[in-house]
Amino acid sequence: MKRFFLSSAAVALACGVAACASTGSGSGASQPTESETSVILQDPAGLWGSKEQGQPWLELSADGKVAGSDGCNRINGTWSGSEELEFGALASTKMYCEGVDDWLSRAATAKLEEGNKMLVLDANGEELGTLAYGGSNS
């Protein structure tokens, strides 16, 4: 009887672990629906990128302010627009961090693309990089 109980418990545990593993998307984030993408393109306020240490990110506030980081240096300034954004007077600290690319501090404009990506461009219109939508402001 004891052996039956232990075998049953082991099978139940294995099934539970398998069920949990199969419900994840693999990337930890779900893909936005078409209506969510449409809303983001109309109102881009929110987090773009990831606030994990060493990662570039921008947070666009509804009042036209932007704050962020290139992964090392803090970035502050203003933004305007909807699908095509303009950044005004971005200021950045100038610390040296080995292995961090400061591309985001050179942002002048950006274009929002389907699939919730922000294509960041410099003053000459050259592509600097992309940021994924990370969520709305809280």
Q: Domain-by-domain residue ranges, the chain?
A: 34-135
User: Could you say which DSSP state residue 25 is in?
Assistant: -
* CA 64 – CA 53 distance, rounded (Å): 25
| Secondary structure tally for the chain: helices H, strands E | 2, 8
Indicate if the alpha-carbon torsion angle 113, 117, 123, 126 is positive or negative.
Answer: negative
Report the 10 Å Cβ neighbour count for 36.
Answer: 13
Mean pLDDT, the chain, whole residue set: 78
Report the 10 Å Cβ neighbour count for 90.
Answer: 18
User: Could you say which DSSP state residue 44 is in?
Assistant: -
Q: What is the pLDDT of residue 48?
A: 97
pLDDT tens for the chain, 138 residues long, are: 444 443 444 434 333 433 333 333 333 344 455 545 554 667 899 999 999 999 999 999 999 999 999 999 999 999 999 889 999 989 999 888 888 888 999 999 999 998 799 999 999 999 999 999 998 864
Q: Which CATH architecture group holds 34-135?
A: Beta Barrel (2.40)
User: Is residue 43 within 8 Å of 25, Cβ to Cβ?
Assistant: no
